[in-house]
Amino acid sequence: MQILEHVHVNVDSIAATLVFLRAALPELVRRGGGHADGYGKWVHLGTAQDYIALTEVKGTQIPGELRHIGLVVDDVEGLMTRLERAGFQPSDSSALDSHPYRRRVYYIDDNGLPWEFVQYLTEDATLRNDYSH
């Protein structure tokens, strides 16, 4: 069962977050975009099942209450390599090898959006969701 269909955030620059996400997750596609009266420029980037919606609102500041947006990846090392090639460094990699069944790394894009990328090392949900480590 799919629960989360999309997340929608305002950003100062859609282009800045698109550069980051396309480097991180090149398999994402632009599902739609344009300009809506009263809202401005927008884009949906994702898969057939879910997406990230961005609306450009100049001067937007990311609230400190937003801890991060978490996304699952198949290969965290590959993601880190792609992002490094695009000029991005992790904001926190201390959780990379802190758990036997998942690897996590954190980044902040050029709009200030915080991202967590998680690679699960097992299909066993009990092990994936073990918080004792």
Of all helices (H) and strands (E), which one includes residue 6? strand 6-11
Domains of the chain, first to last: 6-58+67-128 (3.10.180.10)
Determine the pLDDT at residue 44. Answer: 98
DSSP-based three-state secondary structure for 79? helix
Counting DSSP H helices and E strands in the chain, the numbers are 3, 7
**pLDDT truncated to tens, each residue of the chain (133 aa)?**
789 999 999 999 999 999 999 999 999 999 999 998 888 899 999 999 999 999 999 999 998 899 999 999 999 999 999 999 999 999 999 989 999 999 999 999 999 999 999 999 999 999 999 998 7
CB count within 10 Å of CB 2 equals: 6
